[in-house]
A and B are shown apart, each in its own frame.
Chain A
Amino acid sequence: MPSYDVMPDVQLFQPAEVDDALNLVDQYGKDGWILGGGQDTYGWLKDRAKHPTALIDLNGIEALHGIRETVDGIEIGATTTLREIIASPLINRDFELLVRAASRVASPQIRNVGTLGGNVSQDARCWYYRRGLACYRAGGNICYADSPQGMNREHALFDASRCVAISPSDTATALVALEATMIARSVNGSRNIAAEDFFVGPATHITNMTSLESDEILTAVQIPSRWAGSRFYFEKVADRDVWDFALVSIAVVMKMDGDTIAKSRFVCGGVACTPYRLLDVEKAARGKTLSDESGDAIAALASQGAKPLNYNHFKIPLMENLVRRAMRG
């Protein structure tokens, strides 16, 4: 069994314009690899688990970078770093939920270079998959994690289909809660994808975690103003406080009508292959006040339908407790 820690030879392209990048992506197709902050790139390449022939570095494209106020909210360029999002007065003012989520990504070092586009586009963190095993997600015909004695503490409770890996992105839950729109471009044009549709499970696409096609680049994320200044709640429970993925996380937006919840979106991370909407919780929360009693009344709805694996049933009380905390006044 070989083991590697040296980067393989690979062509590096550093386009300055979006169109040039799109042409390169179109030219190289599945052999091309889009490079943002590199935090979910270099490991794959060094481990020889992925074999692109060309790296297309987006960091030199000014149009893909930065935070802009739009007519109806904000637009964040895909190569905007998580650190820049955390420091943005605009995002702090209107969408603090995203700031809280971005603040819990990985470590300060990774947040300094890691981009929003990269964070939402990162691949599954299932340890079997990351070893380069030929599992379903890697194009094989087996799931090592979903097996009689599989070690699957960090895997999914919901919506598994052959693969039981979870969505690892912290910002994804916040963007789904905020009803963000992902802007994807290719040489053939532009697509606006609702965040909720951007993240896809294995039943939809077994080898991709997003709906991006191989000739597309995620250029920006737009957040509409409809949830600006709402009541937000974000919490991530991980083994460690730095450099760790969520065991379970929750991102919540609420519109209050006086003391009661008029409308809300509850989204859990770490429990499904995509950010997981708690639709029953949202329905039950409508008209409720923020209180321990309200939390207790609806928390159990969070885990309805959960199908725990060998080692992950602890996520059931955990996600229920996070709902309780979100409902606290």
Chain B
Amino acid sequence: MTDYKHIGKDFVPPDILGKVTGKAKFAEDFRADGMLFARLYTSPIAHGKVTHIDTSALDGMDGVIGVLTADDVPVVEAPNAAILTNTPAFIGDPILAVAAVDELTAEEAMTRIRVTIEALPFAVDPLDSLIEGGPDAREEGNVFVRSREGSGFRTVKWTAQQISEFRAGKEPTGEFVNEWSYGDIESGFADAAVIVEAPFVTTGYAHMSMEARTVMAYWQNGTCYVYASAQSQSFWMPGLARLLGVEMSKVVLISENTGGGFGSKIGAYPIAALPGYFSKQLGRPVQLRITREQEYYIGSARVGFQGWIKMGFAKNGRMTAADVFIIEDIGPNATGGDGSSAGGAVSLVYDPAAMRFRGLPVLTNTTPRGAQRGPGQNQIAAVMAPLMDKAARELRMDPLEIRKINAVNSDTRVYAEQRPLTSAYMKEALEKGADMFDWDAKYNQPRRNGNKVIGVGIGQGYHSAGTKGFDGLVRITPDGKIHLHSGIGNLGTYSYVSTTRAAAEVLKCEWEDCVIHYGSTEANLPWSSYQAGSVSTFTHTRANYVAAMDAVSKMKAITAETLGGSADDYDIDGQRVFNIHNTRQGMTYAAVAARAIQLGGAYSGASYPDDIHEITQRAVQNIAGTGLIGVAKDNLPQEGVIPGLAAAFVEIELDLETGKYEILDYVGIAECGTVMHPQGLAGQMKGGAVWGMGMAGLERHVYDPQNGLPANVGYHQCGIPTYLDVPLVTRTSAVDLPDPQNPFGARGIGEPAMGCSVAALTAAISDALGGHTFGRTPVSRDMIVNHIAGRPQSFKPQQTNNF
């Protein structure tokens, strides 16, 4: 294994001190002279048309400065989320905003507003809309298809019999709108020794960002300054500028710290533009901090599934065919796309010889959906795990063995296109986890002890974990400092800084001499990927690598030009460029930087590559002449799917009288190539484990179908796991085998870290109950109690968004 100076070593990220001392500034901590406070008025009904807004009671009210309605902001075409709307499609849809001198006044003003809304039919369960005669969540239809060939509304209805058969667990026969396949699934099923077929439901639930989204904005000389709770930094810019209706060069985004996004703040969300419009109207800075309750309305949620799956297995356990059908609950804004991703995950993780995916995205009048950690992959991971165990039981195989024989590896071809992978070592992850967990002993231990029973489970997680083509930017100044510019965004995962260590590694410099620039457009940040989708590590170690390589190349050229010889005569170390034939001859980085300023051109950033993004161009223009500039677009070779993988092992003790279970042991193994940042990786694996435990047993949307009311609009009601609901010790490790398509061998891991957990725990609950599969997440206490007591479940089969 390569002996790196920085890669694979722990370090102290620069934002840590602020977070532990309370000095870190989040969006709501910023103030500007004359700043007003805005509050949102949202829809009290699930679907309707605003016919009248009466704000006359605010006339002359002390401290109330202005009102912003949907008529004051650009119209957004349905079903996309609007900044403000006159056609609310869920309870909590923003209708107007009030700005006042303080938050209390803004809230008092809210009580005096009268909004008349004409009610329209609504649906909170896709099947209620899909059935013939059922209500449509939008007047334009109940299905929205997003595709490269064209997007649009559709109205899809199934007969009552088709719905009834689907509820009964039979293969869906109703219309669907998405399909892909590879291989011959009929032959695959014909060749199978065992066939497993099951319906399933995975209920959606909130992202639950601790920081309720806040945005403050003001205008200065035609530029809009936006202080936002943002998951990404540079990636927000195009969308934010588009929402504000200005050129990107006229927007400055400040986002130093963000209190969680989890997929809900990847790009600029609609209300991020509201303070900008309000500020323009009122001529004063405006801050919008939504309430905790409103974060549950517009803070996004995981897509729910109602589906059916059929899998065939050969005698040796190999999956011969998989057939997956998923109805997606895509909320009112047709966001998500989780269904096909789930199908992709089946293809990649279990490598069926043949596969078909069919999908139907159905609109509901529930909270808007969005990508949530492992969108699609993690729902299907939970569905698959107990079914794999069921197949193993029927084949008389060990659950570990059936997973190993189907484990994705570097030669696997995936998805409809049967694409190659950069590398994959799931089998190694399973074996490492089994060893740490002592699988054989735990699997074969006596299970029953009075009213307690032991269950064990294995879970596998996957998400694509990288992309390419983004920019890197480094700068060395005459004081010898190495400036590493990171445009990813500080979500709290520290990858905004851990990826810059790739540049420090190339530059062979001391970390103490590095200065990390992040958190504001004015920090001159390069064009970067979204801080999501587990892509940061793979993508930005590459981008930092190419920028640093550019800097090294320039430093060698400058030194050769100054001291003689050719660039090839020089190498770097100890923050010096030295002659490899006479190591005493050389220049310090500081001296090279000063010389770069003198020489100008590409050395100082006066010129730059044509292929870098306009955001990077502006950053380089701003810092040109301050030192030696290393800047490049990542044009490194890259082919195939970049997988992030993880495996987890769980042992629980389930009380057959109360339905409660205690998680006795948890082992999570990351398969993410070279480990970049051990503490960061452990944080991801442990945080993902807890999240998965919440999804497996606790978290879900609940809506009253009679009025569209959501039951859970707070932390308590949403049931996130607490300290005592998770194991005392969560053990993690990594396979740590390098990926060949990253300069340091690194891939991402964020999302699989959760998928493996929800899958393993769901499997362990099933195992404890003798292999009973609920076909549903979460598996709540009441479901377990009812099952053990031989009572029917309270909900209709395939019902969703319910207790």
Residues of A within 8 A of B (CB): 1-9, 48, 107, 127-128, 131, 144, 147-153, 235, 237, 239-244, 247, 310-314, 316-318, 321-322, 324-325
Contacts and interface: CB of A to CB of B under 8 A. Distances in A.
Contact of A311 (B111, B698, B707, B802): B802
Contacts of B782: 153, 247, 311-312, 314
B21 interface: no
Contacts of B72: none
A150 B111 contact: no
A153 B658 contact: no
A2 B96 CA distance: 10
A127 B103 CA distance: 26
B291 interface: yes
A108 to B, nearest CB: 9
A48 B111 contact: yes
Interface residues of B, number: 56
- Closest CB pairs A-B (n = 5): A2-B110, A241-B724, A153-B803, A1-B44, A317-B789
Contacts of B702: 151
B802 A321 contact: no
Given A2-B110, A239-B719, A313 B786 contact: yes
B721 interface: yes
B42 interface: yes
A6 B107 contact: yes
Interface stretch (B73-81, B455-463, B556-564, B709-717): B709-717
B611 interface: no
B658 A237 contact: yes
B28 to A, nearest CB: 12
B119 to A, nearest CB: 14
A107 B657 contact: no
Given A3-B291, A153-B782, A314-B782, A242 B722 contact: yes
A147 B780 CA distance: 23
B52 interface: no
Nearest to B658: A237
27 contacts: A2-B39, A2-B41, A2-B113, A3-B110, A5-B291, A5-B293, A6-B104, A6-B107, A127-B712, A131-B709, A144-B704, A147-B706, A148-B706, A150-B706, A235-B658, A237-B658, A237-B660, A239-B698, A239-B719, A239-B780, A243-B716, A244-B719, A311-B782, A311-B794, A317-B791, A321-B658, A324-B657
Nearest to B102: A6
B657 A6 contact: no
Contact of B103 (A6, A247, A310): A6
B725 interface: yes
A328 B716 CA distance: 33
Nearest to A144: B704
A153 B711 CA distance: 11
Nearest to A148: B706
B280 to A, nearest CB: 24
Given A3-B293, A317-B785, 17 more contacts: A1-B43, A1-B44, A3-B290, A7-B104, A8-B104, A8-B108, A48-B107, A153-B782, A239-B719, A240-B698, A314-B781, A314-B789, A316-B789, A317-B789, A321-B658, A322-B658, A325-B657
B294 interface: yes
Given A1-B41, A5-B291, A153-B782, A314 B791 contact: yes
A249 B802 CA distance: 23
A86 B145 CA distance: 58
A242 B721 CA distance: 9
Q: Please indicate which of the listed interface residues B290, B698, B794, B802 has the most CB atoms of chain A within 10 Å of its own CB.
A: B794
Contacts of B113: 2
Given A239-B698, A242-B722, A314-B794, A3 B781 contact: no
A311 B702 CA distance: 12
Nearest to B716: A243
A316 B92 CA distance: 36
B213 to A, nearest CB: 13
B133 interface: no
B44 A318 contact: no
A36 B39 CA distance: 30
Contact of B711 (A151, A243, A244, A322): A151
Contact of A1 (B92, B716, B724): B92
B721 A240 contact: yes
A296 to B, nearest CB: 12
A1 B719 contact: no
B292 interface: yes
Contacts of A235: 658
B791 A313 contact: yes
Nearest to A147: B706
B794 A310 contact: yes
Contact of A127 (B657, B658, B711, B785): B711
Contact of B111 (A2, A107, A147, A316): A2
Contacts of A48: 107, 111
A158 B721 CA distance: 30
B770 interface: no
Contacts of B291: 3-5
Contacts of A151: 702-704, 711, 802-803
Contacts of B41: 1-2
B392 to A, nearest CB: 30
B728 to A, nearest CB: 12
Contacts of B795: 311
B705 interface: yes
Contacts of A322: 657-658
A144 to B, nearest CB: 7
A262 B711 CA distance: 45
B724 A242 contact: yes
B749 interface: no
Contacts of A240: 698, 719, 721-722, 724-725
Nearest to B88: A1
A4 B789 CA distance: 43
Interface in B740-785: 780-783, 785
A323 to B, nearest CB: 10
Contacts of A237: 658-660, 781
A128 B711 CA distance: 8
A151 B721 CA distance: 22
Q: Please indicate which of the listed interface residues A7, A144, A153, A314 has the most CB atoms of chain B within 10 Å of its own CB.
A: A314
A128 B657 CA distance: 29
B266 interface: no
Given A4-B291, A9-B104, A48-B111, A149 B724 contact: no
A3 B721 CA distance: 26
Contacts of B44: 1
Contacts of A313: 786, 791, 794
A285 B711 CA distance: 39
Given A241-B722, A242-B722, A1 B657 contact: no
Contacts of A148: 706
Contacts of B104: 6-9
B40 interface: yes
Contacts of B780: 239
A6 B698 CA distance: 29
A300 to B, nearest CB: 12
Contacts of B725: 240-242
A198 B425 CA distance: 64
A151 B290 CA distance: 27
A242 B722 CA distance: 6
Contacts of A6: 103-104, 107
Contacts of B706: 144, 147-150
Contacts of B719: 239-240, 244
Contact of B722 (A5, A107, A131, A317): A107
B705 A149 contact: yes
B332 to A, nearest CB: 16
Contacts of B802: 151, 311
Contacts of A325: 657
A311 B293 contact: no
Contacts of B698: 239-240
A153 B803 CA distance: 6
